[in-house]
Amino acid sequence: MKLILFCIIMSSALVTYGQKSTFVSTYCNHVKAWSNNTGGLIQLPVYNGQGGLVINPSDDEDYPVSSIFSLATILGGYADGALKGMFITNNDYIVPPFNKFNNIPGPVENGSDYYPQYNKIWQVRSWEVLALIDDYNDNKKIDSKPSDHILSWPGRGNKYSKNYDGIIWPDRDLAPFYDQNKDGIYDPYSGDYPIPDPACPNKIPGDMNWSLYHGANASMEIQTLNFAFASDINPILNNTIFSTITIYNTNNNVKDAKFGIYFDFDLGCIKDDYIGSSSATNSVYVYNKTEIDLNPCVEPGAHYNAYREKSPMTSLTCLNRRMDGTIVYDKAANNAAATDPGSPLNFYNYISNRWLNNVNLTYGGNGYDLNSTNNTKYIYPSSPSNPSGWSMKTLGKDFIDPRGFMNFDLGTLNNGQSIRLDFAMTYHKADLTTDHFSRVDTMLSNISLIKDIAYECFDSEEHNEKCIGDCVWPGDTDHNGIVNNLDILNIGPALKSSGAKRELYADFWNPFYSDEWSKNTFQNLNYKHIDCNGSGSINQEDFNAVTNNFFSRNQTYSTWGGYNVEGNDLTFGDLEDSLKGGEEFELEMIFAKNNNFSLFGMAYSVEFDTTLLTLTDVVFEKRWLDKKSPPNFVLEKEKGKLHFGIVKNLGVNAIVHDVPLGILKFRVKDNFEGKYKTLLKYTNYEKIDADGRISELTASNKALVVANPITTIDKEFDGFLLYPNPTIEFVFIKSKEVYVKAELFDVLGVKYEFKVENNSFRAEDVPSGAYMARLTDENGVRRMHRLIVIK
């Protein structure tokens, strides 16, 4: 069974703060890298027996094969005589006494406090950037709203971050961007956009994500930018993930500062991995003991997917800084000085190229020899093709679970100093023109190509032309620019259909080229749009794409879709139409109450007023549509809205009558005074038949009156108050006088007259606007007062 590094230092302060790290995948080419925002450079969100760097993600669902289990950033040094740093493992636990070494999402200015708005990874894809560039280039201004991802990108001085994330960022360099007007401030409406290298404005990654975290006591911060490029002409670029690590120090100074990348390579099967290091290329790498990966690969309680191709390799390369050492140990070996680190000092020893007991790395064998004075910096520095060199091959001993550290000596970090390190993680297919171990030499020579292209200012579109026209946007099966509940309807009748497979099998929100399928829907939309992940087959995974991309929208979006027609297909159950503040109630959703209905699926939304009502629960019935085979369904929430969708998987239309769709549970808010009318209403509804034909439904709304009692007039009160002001409909008069009539006059002199009862009236059918209210009491005395009406 895979022995995960369980250590007392934690990747995020789960116990202290009750929050897990945020995870995201970088994916636009032949490799997919999962990472988190607290130091997990490669890290799966949930351990599934495989690793965090997935190769050929088109097989991700049924046969994921990885080449790296995990990578993590380690930073340590001495300030004011004490060890400070940021130490991370794969584990989700914090154990005293080392809680103070927690990693916390967000900038170092936050100190030891945790703020949930920073527990995020900011991600942008190339289509979003290219849409903004096209918008700017036509007339040198932005005419359409940029995507939310671009507007919330944490570039220096971003004034939109507060609205999107509730964040006011410190005034310093953060996420990189191209500064169109060179004013030093990130503003997409000035034509600015996210990019890894501002000096190369056309080098736009297919996917990029940025995050930052700091040590609870370290006074140091690490920013991480991961990105990748899709390439039709460069296979090495198409198999590489890039990472830029920026270290920022706010201590007076940190002496003997060290930085390390903890690596745990798992090249397919974990039982036949060899690791090497190359100081000439600043790389560590993994290759297999034999040309054919061990398969089946089974350990007690675990099964690992092996490679089905010959002898692949994976390298981790620092592109801009000299690597100062490497060290490798076997987790499964019985050596207390060479096992998983168990304290901050253990980590610091490893990233200083020393064993846990502070003994130096020595040349030869496994690098641990108490009797040797032949110290060295690099373990297994020779290619396995060299029979007289020092490699894991010539060592002749199998490691069960090798792992280690790639290290950098940073010297002294001054206050306010930043250091940048650029890395590339590359999967190398075997050079079949040579023998198994000589393929390592081919890989090492190809690393120079990675370095060249990493700093080349190429135009991304020369490597991967953007899709224009009838592109597939995964999840948007009705092709209206947004993924929502209506999109699951097209999938149901189309299940098990097959057609052209896309070159990139993926379901992330991005425009993809796809060949036409031979079949169109009744709405004359080609079936390629229903094959959300591009697998060439419409199946359950396409439903997952709708769920994963729900609410995603592109620049063509204008309307949600569906129908809004008055009628009685969708209705609400009976309920008293007057409710008090603080009262809880349930409301049943009903379909086809008055007649039989034939359908294969349906989708609809429900809207309610969040200023008056709090949704406490939703019970959604699923089996009514098909009691033999569970239908597919979706339920998504946003403020004041619920979005439902349900569709059968097979068979013919269902004939239904008087169907209870579910129950909505609400609580009337009690933070208001007076009486209001509110509506619960169905919106954007439609149905689909087994032949794929979409047609309208009808619906009726539910009107409710909610009220909090009018405040009792204080005997000492001798004033006059008209409230609420502004009002939606109901108006109350606080006064010792009894009023009987109200007249509202708009700016044109148009009058609206109302009868006043119990010192209140209902401004029904009054348009929004400013009015002069003339109020007449029982003695005929009039009073004038200004009133604002908002509908």
Span 557-579, pLDDT tens digits = 999 999 999 999 999 999 887 88
Write out pLDDT tens, residues 7-21. Answer: 333 333 333 344 688
From its phi and psi, is residue 285 left (phi > 0), alpha (psi between -120 and 50) or beta?
beta
The third-level CATH classification (topology) of the domain covering 721-789 is Immunoglobulin-like (2.60.40)
> Which residue from 64, 66, 73 is spatially nearest to 9, judged by alpha carbons?
73
Of the pLDDT bands very low, low, confident and very high (cuts 50, 70, 90), residue 346 is very high
What pLDDT was estimated at residue 89? Answer: 58
Cross-strand pairs, 42: 71
Q: Sort 767 into a burial class: Cβ within 10 Å, 0-12 / 13-18 / 19+.
A: exposed
Higher-confidence position of 129 and 47: 129
Residue 397 pLDDT exceeds 90:
no
> Which residue from 385, 387, 205 is spatially nearest to 313, judged by alpha carbons?
385
Report how far apart, in Å, the C-alpha atoms of 737 and of each of 373, 753, 776, 781 are: 101, 19, 10, 10
Residue 711 pLDDT exceeds 80:
no
Every domain range in the chain assigned CATH 1.10.1330.10: 470-559
Residue 48 pLDDT exceeds 80:
no
Beta-sheet pairing, 601-607 with 641-647 = antiparallel
Of the pLDDT bands very low, low, confident and very high (cuts 50, 70, 90), residue 647 is very high
Region 519-530: mean pLDDT is 96
Cα–Cα distance for residue pair 287/298, rounded to 1 Å: 19
Question: Residues with Cβ < 8 Å from 571, sequence gap 6 or more?
Answer: 590, 591, 593, 699, 700
Of the pLDDT bands very low, low, confident and very high (cuts 50, 70, 90), residue 100 is low
Cα–Cα distance for residue pair 242/244, rounded to 1 Å: 7
Sign of CA dihedral 766, 767, 768, 771: negative
Residue 710 pLDDT exceeds 80:
no
The residue type of 306 is A
CATH class of the 566-708 domain in this structure: mainly beta
Q: Report the percentage of the chain scoring pLDDT > 90.
A: 74
Angle 758-764-768 from CA coordinates, rounded to 5°: 120
- Give the residue carrying structure tokens 């169905």: 682
Write out pLDDT tens, residues 147-172. Answer: 999 999 999 999 999 999 999 999 99
Cα–Cα distance for residue pair 610/640, rounded to 1 Å: 6
Whole-prediction pTM: 0.82
- Phi/psi of residue 756, nearest 5 degrees: -100, 125
Sign of CA dihedral 619, 624, 629, 632: negative
Question: Residues with Cβ < 8 Å from 549, sequence gap 6 or more?
Answer: 474, 475, 476, 483, 507, 508, 509
What pLDDT was estimated at residue 172? Answer: 97
Terminal-to-terminal C-alpha distance of the chain = 63
Cα R_g (the chain), whole angstroms: 32
Residue 482 pLDDT exceeds 90:
yes
Judged by DSSP in three states, 172 sits in coil
> Which residue from 151, 149, 165 is spatially nearest to 207, judged by alpha carbons?
149
Region 246-257: mean pLDDT is 96
Angle 419-265-120 from CA coordinates, rounded to 5°: 50
Q: Sort 573 into a burial class: Cβ within 10 Å, 0-12 / 13-18 / 19+.
A: middle
> Which residue from 427, 233, 392, 448 is spatially nearest to 311, judged by alpha carbons?
427
Residue 258 pLDDT exceeds 80:
yes
Q: Report the percentage of the chain scoring pLDDT > 70.
A: 94
Every domain range in the chain assigned CATH 2.60.40.680: 566-708
Q: 101-125 burial, b for 16+ CB within 10 Å, e for fewer?
A: bbbbbbbbebeeebeeebbbbbbbb
Alpha carbon 162 to its chain's center? 19
What pLDDT was estimated at residue 98? Answer: 54
- Give the residue carrying structure tokens 């200023």: 611
What pLDDT was estimated at residue 1? Answer: 47
Q: Sort 638 into a burial class: Cβ within 10 Å, 0-12 / 13-18 / 19+.
A: exposed
Quote the tokens at residue 619: 């019970």
Judged by DSSP in three states, 19 sits in coil
Has domain 470-559 been given CATH number 3.40.50.460?
no
What pLDDT was estimated at residue 753? Answer: 93
Region 58-65: mean pLDDT is 69
Angle 529-647-698 from CA coordinates, rounded to 5°: 100
From its phi and psi, is residue 551 left (phi > 0), alpha (psi between -120 and 50) or beta?
left
Sign of CA dihedral 491, 494, 496, 497: negative
On whether the CB atoms of residues 316 and 423 are closer than 8 A, the answer is: yes
What pLDDT was estimated at residue 689? Answer: 98
Q: Sort 343 into a burial class: Cβ within 10 Å, 0-12 / 13-18 / 19+.
A: middle
Quote the tokens at residue 303: 């099964």
Helix (H) or strand (E) holding 225: strand 220-228
Cα–Cα distance for residue pair 535/505, rounded to 1 Å: 6
From its phi and psi, is residue 651 left (phi > 0), alpha (psi between -120 and 50) or beta?
left
What pLDDT was estimated at residue 498? Answer: 97
Higher-confidence position of 519 and 736: 519
Mean pLDDT lowest for which of 95-99, 489-493, 691-695?
95-99
Helix (H) or strand (E) holding 664: strand 659-668
What pLDDT was estimated at residue 93? Answer: 37
- Look up residue 102 and give its DSSP letter: -
Region 347-375: mean pLDDT is 96
Question: Residues with Cβ < 8 Å from 113, sequence gap 6 or more?
Answer: 104
Cα–Cα distance for residue pair 16/406, rounded to 1 Å: 30
What pLDDT was estimated at residue 563? Answer: 98
- Give the residue carrying structure tokens 């190809």: 446
Question: Residues with Cβ < 8 Å from 162, sequence gap 6 or more?
Answer: 168
CB atoms within 10 A of CB 235: 15
Question: Residues with Cβ < 8 Å from 148, sequence gap 6 or more?
Answer: 164
- Look up residue 719 and give its DSSP letter: S
Residue 534 pLDDT exceeds 50:
yes
Cα–Cα distance for residue pair 477/542, rounded to 1 Å: 9
What pLDDT was estimated at residue 7? Answer: 37
Helix (H) or strand (E) holding 85: strand 82-86
